[in-house]
């Protein structure tokens, strides 16, 4: 049984990675329905939290049906991170997670996210301050290192465990790689198989199918797998991976009708959480992801991304479903 603190996650948890502008409550609801064992929020700016910024505060929204759930935050200043951890604790997540992996320049330039990989002493010091500031289990998500010449994750993992970090998720790329190339799980395996390591180690990067999840589980011995980009527009990935891990059963691809129903539910929850105007606007990028690989869908998608009314959007989806039922669409091409 894999545990973070007292939180039991099953024998081999399949986890939703924190993703900016993706892993909000509407999307998390669909991932939970499809079997995600643990989910993390979008990452939240510590500076935004201590300044009571509306967008940062809204990202603290969590719901009981999501549990266990972790709130992830980032920052490069110890005082801000400590204050933020105390703010987060009041919301009562199951886990508080520190982002030391985001590679985008606007985060890195503040020595936050993956930027702190340039100063491991500060990374450890900041993490220790957060651990001291909360009674919640603290976990960390990070990368192999800053660049090819500084892949020091084995040492970093030991140091983080030694100060009380209770689980570690490792993305198999350096900051310099961003999301390019293939994730290298070799060092993730070294961390997990280091006899000094006792905390759960979760691997992240390029897991997009049940067979690959099982292969990496067996090859690298990790305690669980974290899925990010493969879940975008495809929350069924959790059900498929878990089924294959259990007994190599292959869950069929979702039908076009199931994809349309997922869009409807996602839109409904987006409007509930963000309000109609913003809920519709922020849903637009998701249409492409949900409808990916469906031939001849472009005219419908074009209408969806300019629609301003829930009724109009649902009518377009109904028209699409009608065409599907008439047999006017071929199988999905993935």
Give buried/exposed letters for 280-310 (b at 16+ CB in 10 A, else e).
bebbeebbeebbbebeebeebbebbeebeeb
Whole-number pLDDT of residue 332: 54
Tell me whether residue 31 is one of the annotated catalytic residues.
Answer: no
Give the pLDDT confidence of 217-239 residue by residue, as tens digits: 999 999 999 999 999 999 999 99
Give the pLDDT confidence of 170-227 residue by residue, as tens digits: 999 999 989 898 999 999 999 999 999 999 999 999 999 999 999 999 999 999 999 9
Distance of alpha carbon 100 from its chain centroid, rounded? 14
Q: What domains appear along the chain, each with residue ranges and CATH number?
A: 3-247 (3.20.20.70), 256-325 (1.10.1200)
pLDDT band at 323 (very low <50, low <70, confident <90, very high): confident
pLDDT cut 90: percent of the chain above it: 88
243-246: Cβ within 8 A, 24+ apart: 243/210, 244/209, 244/210, 244/211, 244/213, 244/214, 245/12, 245/14, 245/210, 245/213, 245/214, 245/217
**Which of 229, 221, 225, 214 lies closest to 187 in space, CA to CA?**
221
pLDDT band at 328 (very low <50, low <70, confident <90, very high): low
**Which of 45, 29, 41, 42 lies closest to 81 in space, CA to CA?**
45
Single out the catalytic residue among 85, 102, 213, 222.
Answer: 102
Asked whether the predicted pLDDT for residue 333 surpasses 50, the reply is no
pTM equals: 0.94
Give the pLDDT confidence of 86-143 residue by residue, as tens digits: 999 999 999 999 999 999 899 988 899 999 999 999 999 999 999 999 999 999 999 9
> How many whole angstroms separate alpha carbon 315 and alpha carbon 296?
18
Q: Tokens 């939290």 label which residue?
A: 49
Q: Quick one: average pLDDT of 264-283? A: 96
Whole-number pLDDT of residue 166: 98
């Amino acid at each position: 049984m894999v545990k973070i603190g007292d939180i039991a996650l099953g024998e081999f948890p399949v986890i939703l990675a924190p993703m900016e502008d993706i892993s909000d409550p509407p999307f998390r609801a669909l991932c939970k329905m499809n079997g995600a064992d643990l989910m993390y929020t979008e990452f939240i700016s510590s500076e935004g939290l201590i300044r009571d910024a509306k967008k940062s505060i809204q990202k603290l929204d969590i719901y009981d049906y999501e549990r266990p759930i972790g709130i992830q935050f980032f920052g490069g200043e110890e005082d801000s991170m400590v204050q933020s951890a105390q703010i987060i604790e009041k919301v009562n997540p199951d886990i508080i997670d520190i982002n030391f992996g985001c590679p985008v320049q606007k985060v890195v330039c503040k020595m936050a996210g993956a930027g702190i990989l340039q100063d491991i002493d500060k990374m450890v010091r900041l993490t220790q301050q957060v651990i001291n500031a909360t009674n919640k289990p603290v976990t960390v998500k990070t990368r192999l290192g800053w660049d090819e010449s500084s892949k020091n994750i084995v040492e970093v993992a030991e140091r983080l465990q030694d100060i009380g970090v209770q689980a570690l998720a490792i993305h198999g790329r350096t900051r310099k790689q961003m999301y390019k190339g293939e994730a290298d799980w070799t060092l993730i395996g070294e961390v997990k198989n280091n006899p000094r390591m006792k905390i759960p180690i979760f691997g992240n990067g390029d897991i997009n199918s049940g067979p690959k999840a099982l292969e990496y589980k067996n090859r690298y011995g990790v305690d669980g797998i974290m899925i990010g980009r493969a879940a975008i527009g495809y929350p069924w990935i959790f059900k498929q991976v878990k089924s294959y891990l259990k007994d190599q059963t292959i869950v069929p691809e979702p039908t076009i009708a199931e994809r349309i129903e997922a869009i409807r539910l996602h839109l409904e929850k987006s409007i509930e959480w963000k309000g109609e105007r913003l809920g519709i606007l922020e849903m637009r990028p998701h249409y492409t992801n949900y409808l990916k690989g469906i031939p001849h869908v472009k005219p419908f998608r074009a209408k969806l991304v300019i629609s301003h009314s829930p009724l109009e959007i649902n009518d377009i989806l109904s028209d699409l479903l009608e065409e599907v039922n008439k047999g006017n669409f071929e199988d999905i091409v993935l």
